[in-house]
Structure 1
Amino acid sequence: MQGVAGGLLAGLGYAVINSALPRWLWTRGSALVSAMWGVATVVGPATGGLFAQLGIWRWAFVVMAVLTALMALLVPVALARVDPAPAIPRMKVPVWSLLIIGVAALAVSVAQIPHNTAATFGLLAAGIMLVGLFVIVDWRMHAAILPPSVFSPGPLKWIYLTMGVLMAAAMVNTYVPLFGQRLAHLTPIAAGFLGAALALGWTVSEIVSASLENPRTVGRVVMVAPLVAASGLALGAVARHGDGSAWTAALWAVALLVAGTGIGMAWPHLSARAMASVNDPAEGGAASAAINTVQLTSAAIGAGLAGVVVNTATGGDEMAAHLLFTVFTALSAAGVAVSYAATRATRQAQPVGNVG
């Protein structure tokens, strides 16, 4: 239930950018929306670690429920009342597409549960095949999640794939607080802050990157972003684990900071380009809403993959941490191919920041 509500709110963020802001503000608006994720990723683990260290972890859920209720009370005050326009057609819900992509994410997520290796990799294979089935069904259905421009020769499909790879790579952070406690012997709150290093790099780099307007510069930044993220994760893979020294935590913090920088430097430009790379302006709303679908689905698949790597690793926590960073390094490095394809056709385009 929390995920359904959160997904609705998160999807509205990019939809509002597309419909309410001029095109030249899309990049900065996307950076602001994405910064919300970064701040939440900093505050969330740190707050959870604090409650865990105090031995009252259940109160973290109580605090979140109270904050959610307060936000609900602010909605009527913050949002202006708008009379409904009867001429707007009702949106059709892409039931089949949602069902298939949801089952695909679930299959990858639960793949970490079985202790049988064959069952684990069988669920992973099923999840991958369901993602392929989702693309086929969404392409053929009238009510779809992805805009029709995804299936055209344009760069939109590569833009979404780049976003998916970067978001999945960020899910290496799922087990960082756990390994911070077990291998670096950090307190729960310190381990929570260690997990926030990736979000800090993401947030700062995207705010800085959002000011870039030259299309060649933006294209190069987006193209090398997965490589920067991979270099940070590679540092985490080669860092010495399990010695309990401050150097272990420091190296992980630097590694995650660099990885987050690689993700954040590309994200606002990818979001703006996704909304601008449609063949028909009427697809802008669908393109903006699909950003959130790609983001959350990739996060679920990435988190499931992280769980599979950690739970199937042999040799203890030290080997599990090494394999986790190694696998996600390879995933990020593979993203260079799709980021190159995403920027190849847009490097000569007019920068979004100069429109208007």
Structure 2
Amino acid sequence: MTDDDLSAGILRRPYLLATVGSCALVFMVAFEAMAVTTIMPRVGRELDGLELYALAFAAPLATSVVGMVVAGNWADRRGPAGPLYASVVLFAAGLLIAGTALSMPVFVAGRFVQGLGGGAMTVALYVVIARAYPARLHAKMFAAFAAVWVVPSMVGPFAAGVVAELVGWHWVFLGVVVLVVPALAMTVPALRQMRGPAGSTSSAVPWNFGRIGWAVLAGVAVLAVNLSGQVPAAGWLIAVAALLAALFAVRPLVPRGTLTAGRGLPSVILLRGVVSAAFFGAEVYMPYLLTERYGFSPAFAGLAITGSALAWATSSGIQGRWGARISNEVAIKVGTWLVLAVLLLELAAVLFAWPPLPAIICWTFGGAGMGLMFPRLSTMTIGLSEPDAQGFNSSALSISDSIGSALALAMAGMIFNLLAAGYGFGGVFALTALIAAVGLLVSPRATAAVAGSRPAVLAPK
């Protein structure tokens, strides 16, 4: 490595192409995520499938687990190029299926395919960062990923609402497909130079079909939790059984001690899932709340998500710029407290019938809390990973994200449907606030990791 390499930033050679290509892919995912959250109430009504509202969000989260495990294993064997190319193709195919759907089951099927690609893409990009960038640039890259959400956050929700009103929601999905080709093309030059970790061979890290099988079981269990509400008599029994099955299946997919909040890396990964469950379990109901209770149009309901995402990107950029001046402990604890406080305020807004403006402002601060802690959890995961475990641990972090969010959505959906007469939104915010409180208990164990230390064994055997 030359002196120029050591002094280069993420937007200078030799990292420029990798940065632009990776951020372009994140931009594509960001635009789709912001758009879908805004238009889902209309999609559910037009396809006569509001009972599958939560499942439409949980479906890609559940199938993403399989994509994450396969991509992580593949990246540890051959590097991130192959899984990244495959993931982009799957993601685009899912968008096409959802965008041309004429029924809710077909729409959900498109979301299944989309989740496979999106999950694999996330892991592949994390490994790109681990392999292509020095440790000093990891925090800046994760902050850049968050900053890339700014433009979609500013125009995505409102634009999606306008498109849905003027030409139909189908074009929100079909329009995102246009971004796929240029985003992938920009990654090609950088990925051609990447292979597996230094000194590794394809046989050093074998295909682990056992973990892939556990990932499939975890995804099926998550979907069973979401669909349990469709069984009136035994719905809750099925939900509990499926929840236990999901937790059992996820154990081989994460570092040992994750589900019991072991100190260091296990708690880092667990905390990522807990805060994702709290925040995203509530976020998907914000546009629903504004359209159903306050009569907002889809375009203006998206403004609540816009403010939150902008705050997320801003606080993420601040923590990345300040670096070590904000410790991991401070960033994570402050971020978790902010999320909990916001969820409690949203609960109060629903119970006491506050006007919409306080609810929108509160949600903005929730995004700031997430932006403060999310990049730090990603950086800590990479820093605590051995080179031949970067794919596994990156996939474990993303799996925790997806499983946590999907299970929270399933439970929120059941509570929302159970509590009639306008109390459903209150039940959702109460549940997610409780989950955020659990995050406060886990956060001290996550920050107990010693900077620069690496546990001898990171993955279950």
TM-score category (smaller protein): 0.7 to 0.9
Matched, 1:308 2:414: yes
Give deviations 1:302-339, integer Å, cap 9, x for gaps. 222222222111222xx222222122111111210011
Sort the Cα spacing of 1:102 and 1:226 in 2 relative to 1 into closer, same or farther, 3 A.
same
One-letter code of the match for 1:321? Answer: F
Runs of 4+ in 1 over 6 A off after TM superposition: 83-86
Q: Distance in 1 between matches of 2:147 and 2:410?
A: 24
**Are the counterparts in 1 of residues 276 and 404 from structure 2 also a CA contact under 8 Å?**
yes
| 1:81 corresponds to | 192
Q: Which residue in 2 is equivalent to 1:273?
A: 380
Q: Please, which of 204, 209, 216 is the counterpart of residue 314 of structure 2?
A: 204
Shift of 1:237: 0.9
Deviates more, 1:9-18 or 1:145-154: 145-154
Residue 101 of structure 1 corresponds to: 218
TM-score where L is the length of structure 2: 0.65
Partner residue in 2 for 1:129: 244
Matched, 1:185 2:295: yes
Aligned to 1:142: none
Match of 1:163 in 2: 272
Shift of residue 35 of structure 1? 4.3
User: Matches of 1:327 and 1:41 in 2, distance apart?
Assistant: 26
Alpha-carbon spacing, 1:215–1:155, altered in 2? closer, same or farther (3 Å): farther
Match of 2:129 in 1: 17
> Which residue number corresponds to residue 248 of structure 1?
355
1:290 aligns with 2:396: yes
Instruction: Provide the C-alpha distance between the structure 2 equivalents of 1:98 and 1:38, rounded to a whole number of angstroms.
Output: 32
How far did 1:12 drift?
1.1
Cα gap change, 1:43 to 1:91, in 2 (>3 Å): farther
Q: CA deviation at 1:75?
A: 4.7
CA offsets, 1:183-210, max 9 Å, x none? 1221110012223333222222111122
- Of 47, 50, 56, the residue aligned with 2:162 is 50
**SS at structure 2 position matched to 1:211:** helix
Could you tell me whether the CA contact under 8 Å between 1:180 and 1:191 is conserved in 2?
Answer: yes
Shift of 1:114: 1.7
TM-score (norm 1): 0.82
Correspondence for 2:345: 235
Residues 344/79 of structure 1: CA separation in 2 closer, same or farther (3 Å cut):
closer
Greater relative CO (CA pairs within 8 A, separation 6+): 1
Match of 1:8 in 2: 120
- CA–CA distance in 1 between the matches of 2:375 and 2:409? 22
Q: Residues 182 and 84 from structure 1, CA distance in 2 versus in 1: closer, same or farther, beyond 3 angstroms?
A: closer
- Distance in 1 (CA, whole Å) between partners of 2:399 and 2:431 is 24
Q: Distance in 1 between matches of 2:410 and 2:442?
A: 22
CA shift, 1:286, in A, is 1.9
Amino acid at match of 1:308: M
- Of 319-328 and 183-192, more deviation after overlay is shown by 319-328
Q: Is the 8 A contact 1:159 1:274 kept in 2?
A: yes
Q: Distance in 2 between matches of 1:195 and 1:343?
A: 29
> What is residue 354 of structure 1 aligned with on the other side?
none
Partner letter of residue 321 of structure 2?
A: S
Q: State whether residues 265 and 449 of structure 2, in contact with CA within 8 Å, keep that contact through their aligned partners in structure 1.
A: no
Secondary structure of the residue aligned to 1:314 is: coil
Q: Name which of structure 1's ranges 255-264 and 81-90 shifts more when overlaid on structure 2.
A: 81-90
Task: Report Cα offsets for 1:23-78 as digits up to 9, x if no partner.
Answer: 122222222234456765665433332222225122222212333345345554x5
Q: Specify the code of the residue in structure 1 equivalent to 2:411.
A: L
Contact 2:221 2:242 in 1 (8 A): yes
Gapped regions of structure 1 (runs ≥ 5):
139-144, 352-356
Letter in 1 for 2:415: V
**Amino acid in the other structure paired with 1:330:** L
How big is the shift at 1:257? Answer: 1.0
- SS of structure 1 residue aligned to 2:178: helix
Q: How many residues align?
A: 333
Distance in 2 (alpha carbons) for counterparts of 1:83 and 1:35: 25
1:339 lines up with 2:455 in the alignment:
no
Matched, 1:323 2:435: no
Identity %: 24
Between the aligned partners of 2:355 and 2:156, the Cα distance in structure 1 is 23
Task: Tell me which amino acid in the other structure corresponds to 1:167.
Answer: S
Q: 2 CA distance for matches of 1:273 and 1:217?
A: 11
* Shift in CA distance, 339/154, structure 1 to aligned 2, threshold 3 Å: closer
* Structure 2 CA distance for partners of 1:115 and 1:95, relative to 1, 3 Å: closer
Q: Tell me the equivalent position of 1:141.
A: none
Contact 1:194 1:249 in 2 (8 A): no
CA contact (8 A) 1:100 1:133 kept: no
Match of 2:22 in 1: none
Q: RMSD of the TM alignment (CA)?
A: 3.0
Give the equivalent residue in structure 2 for 1:114. 230
* Matched-pair contact (CA < 8 Å) for 2:332–2:373: yes
Q: 2: CA distance between counterparts of 1:120 and 1:204?
A: 42
Amino acid at match of 1:81: R
Pairwise CA distance, 1:267: 0.9
